[in-house]
A and B are shown apart, each in its own frame.
Chain A
Amino acid sequence: MKFKINRDHFSNGLAQVLNVVGSKATMPILSNVLIEAEKDCVTFTTTNLDLGIRARIKAEVKEPGSVTLPVKRLASIVRELPNLDVAFDASPNHHVKLSSGGSTFKIMGIGREEFPPLPELGDENSFSLDQATLTTMLQSVAYAQSSDETRYILNGVYFSFRDSKLTLVATDGRRLALISKEMDVAADRAGSIILPAKTVTELLHMLNKGTTLKIAFNERRATFQIATDKDTSGLLDSIYLYSKVVEGNYPNYQQVIPKETQQRIKLERELLLACVHRASLVCSEKANSVRIKLTSNLLEVTAQSPDFGEAHESMAIAYSGPELQVAFNPAYVLDPLRALTKDEVFFEVKDEVSPGVFKTLENFVCVIMPVRLS
């Protein structure tokens, strides 16, 4: 196997597949990237069995073939090579010679026989999505995923293709973010999956290199074909991402979204973000809450920690409802405000023990549970 490749393209291709490989792989082969050369392209594949990625890079292939190499060290070497032209030469005993300018590396590889193939899914349950739209949707909810391993069902983003829309939901049991977008979903193709947090991170990393993507799934796994037509660093066709899904029933999120609107206020997103962020600077691990007080046309944010001090912020709003106070974990307020891009958000509150709700006009809802005032 022999090919010539542009160093930066090589590096870009490895970067796409690099994060899949964990620090403690269960089998040595899983620390490796499978490199396959044929026609005018080189394919890189990595997998940790739960998640796998395949990316294609253009190259001048002189002799087709395949080999696997430790991906982390290979990537750090390729990044540092002195010359843009890189020659890759693998011998039948899986020794690889990498040369670029005046440097030459000899790396010991493993044959491809042991490398587990990435499963493929048929087209029976597949949907085509716009990459920019999915990016926005994922960013609007991903922060609300749980990282508590004992609640593994919540360690991911719920995708629901149903009722002529795609709905994405994430929750950690204390806050919940939901966004939906209309799309054609034939009744017989409706379905849902919980995409693991790690896959969500990787997906966000892959998106926006092209216009569209195709998602296919069944109850155990999901695959993504992510077009790379906007990429200028050597990526060809599409990136293929395979992932197991979180198996189990996602909680009934509908029941925690308040049905009735109580006090609704329109807020300047960045202003509220800045106020809450400043107030939260006095919070501590033990006193991690900000208090929001609404009075006539005034919103006040206060925070205090006994061993440091206190903060008071105020902003003018249009409000004529009853005076009320409610406290929240500041991160729960800040995360949705940071993720959104619109200038204005709606915030709905009822009383000190009822959830607060952020909404936008784009079918976005973020429900946050309060901290008991004491």
Chain B
Amino acid sequence: MTRLPTILHLDADAFFVAVEQARDPSLRGKKVAVGGRERGIIASASYEARACGVYTPMPTAQALRVCPDLILVSHGLGGYGAVSRRMFDLCETLTPVVQRNSVDEGYLDLGPCGFKTAAEVEAAARGLQRRIWDELQIPVSVGLATNRLVAQIASKLRKPRGFVVVPPGTEAEFLAPLGVGKLPGIGGKTEAALAERGLVLIRDLFARSESELAAALGGGWRELLALARGEDDRPVEVEREDAKSYSQQETFAADIADFAEIERVAKGMVDALLPKIRADRKRVRTITVKVRYPDFSQTAHGRSLEAATDLEAPFYPLIAPLLRAAWTQRRPLRLVSVRFSAVEDATGQLEMFAQQDEKRRQLAAVLDRLTGRATVVRRGHQLAKAPPPDK
């Protein structure tokens, strides 16, 4: 039986921008970026904006300098998750074996579809690409190959709306002329270091002796060489893993040094994250507070509860000590984030010595329902400090 290029990597082109453009078609063909306000970061930029030098992740202020007529859309409206789900639902109409890697990319194994020829596989893949555009107005790039590694490199090769097929047996040939940076695990620094040794293209790797490779690449050189030959036997995995952590961060409009204000913001994150944790029927045990200084250096401090919980109350008293422990430099902060980890499944099992928790849980359930519509109830710590009275 001849092998077919049945592994498909699907990568949406400028996904967040595409969702906004689908919502407001007047944004099409323009220099658009989705990102935070002035001090935030660009999450996604249209190809027109990229042509002006906007990239991700780039601080918004810098993006506006290189591209003054950039149209900035905040992620306010959201809805990205819903579009992503519909996109992957369309993928699942083609094959049940769909691995959702992130909101905008994933792998499909078309093996179970029973295609007989490469042409059939290609036609089905093109059909999917077209359907995602027709139904969702989301442009996607597609790579087809015999394994995940090559399919993924192929899909990113001719963005946007790329469609690259690597016929079986030509994987090494396909990779040879590409830059070494295309291989997973080779980041900017490694790439630069390799370039200094004259290793620029993937094919350059094969011109070197084992000892030279070991010196240039370190202990993992054999694995890297296998990747360079286009070898990869990882299957497309359907099981989507549950969230391993929940986190939120906020970049301040101006660096701030007011402890109480930062504590208020961090507690607000606790208030924002726990409803999500409850909605997912999970519990969390560990909280980590991270602070970032204006020069982007950062420190974090975490603490675990004795038992996992889905309530805000046990975490409130930890915020101030963790913030104090993380914020050691006497400098204002650019950003603060709160992360919950050690996630467990919540059970409906009621506890005996925690009747207070049960009452809090009932209250939380009511608040969750109310705040699902609008912010009608706020906790005291969510209120901003009143301006100082005039003297």
Q: Which residues of A contact B (CB under 8 A)?
A: 150-151, 171, 173-176, 251, 256, 286, 288-289, 327, 329, 353, 355, 367, 369-374
B348 at the interface (CB under 8 A from A): yes
Q: Closest CB of chain A to B281's CB: distance in Å?
A: 9
How far is A372 from B348 in the complex, measured between Cα atoms in Å? 5
**Contacts of B353 on A, CB cut-off 8 Å?**
173, 251, 256
Given A286-B345, A353-B358, check contact A150 B350 (CB 8 Å): no
Docked complex: B337-361 residues within 8 A CB-CB of A: 345, 347-354, 358
Give the distance to chain A from B351, nearest Cβ to Cβ, in Å.
Answer: 6
B21-50: CB near A (< 8 Å → 1, else 0) gives 000000000000000000000000000000
Q: Would you list 24 pairs from A and B whose C-beta atoms are within 8 A, ordered by A residue?
A: A150-B307, A151-B306, A173-B351, A173-B354, A174-B349, A174-B350, A174-B351, A176-B352, A251-B353, A256-B352, A353-B350, A353-B358, A355-B350, A369-B350, A369-B351, A369-B352, A370-B350, A371-B348, A371-B349, A371-B350, A372-B348, A372-B349, A373-B348, A374-B348
Which residues on B sit within 8 Å (CB–CB) of A370? 350
Q: Given contacts A150-B306, A286-B345, A353-B358, are A171 and B350 in contact (CB under 8 A)?
A: no
- Residues of B348-384 contacting chain A, CB below 8 A: 348-354, 358
Would you list the 10 A-B pairs with minimal beta carbon distance, nearest first?
Answer: A372-B348, A369-B350, A371-B348, A256-B352, A150-B306, A371-B349, A369-B352, A173-B352, A251-B353, A370-B350
Chain A residues whose C-beta falls within 8 Å of the C-beta of B358 in the assembled complex: 353
Chain B, residue nearest A285 (CB): B345
19 more contacts with CB within 8 A, not counting A173-B352, A353-B358, A369-B352, are: A171-B352, A173-B351, A173-B354, A174-B349, A174-B350, A174-B352, A175-B352, A176-B352, A251-B353, A329-B349, A355-B352, A367-B352, A369-B351, A370-B350, A371-B347, A371-B348, A371-B349, A371-B350, A373-B348
For the complex, give the distance between the alpha carbons of A178 and B212 in Å.
Answer: 73
Are the CB atoms of A369 and B348 closer together than 8 Å?
no
How long is the Cα–Cα vector from A174 to B351 in the complex, in angstroms? 5
Instruction: List B contacts of A174 (CB < 8 A).
Output: 349-352
Taking the nearest CB of chain B, how far is it from the CB of A145, in angstroms? 14
With both beta carbons as reference points, the residue of chain B lying nearest to A329 in the complex is identified as B349
Q: Give the distance in Å from the alpha carbon of A110 to the alpha carbon of B350 in the complex.
A: 53
A369, B349: Cβ atoms closer than 8 Å:
yes
Q: In whole angstroms, what is the CA distance A47 to B351 when docked?
A: 36
Contact with A along B311-349 (1 / 0, CB 8 A): 000000000000000000000000000000000010111
- List the B residue with the shortest CB-CB distance to A369: B350
Shortest Cβ gap from B355 to chain A (Å): 8
Complex CA gap A59/B258 in Å reads: 80
Q: Which residues from chain A contact B350 at a C-beta distance below 8 Å?
A: 174, 353, 355, 369-372
Interface string of B289-308 (1 = CB under 8 A from A): 00000000000000000110
In the complex formed, the residue of B with least CB distance to A148 is B307
With A and B bound together, what is the CA distance between A173 and B351 in angstroms?
Answer: 6
Chain A residues within 8 Å of B349, by CB: 174, 329, 369, 371-372
* Neighbouring A residues of B345 by C-beta, 8 Å: 286
| Min C-beta distance of B310 to chain A, whole Å | 12
**Cβ-closest chain A residue relative to B346:** A372
Binary contact track B152-174/A, C-beta < 8 Å → 1, others 0: 00000000000000000000000
Cα distance A374–B347 when bound, in Å? Answer: 11
Whole-angstrom CA separation of A372 from B350 in the bound complex: 7
* Cα of A329 to Cα of B352 in the assembled complex, Å: 14
| Distance (whole angstroms) from the CB of A166 to the closest CB of chain B | 23
A367 cross-chain contacts in B, Cβ below 8 A = 352
Complex Cα–Cα for A176 and B350 (A) = 13
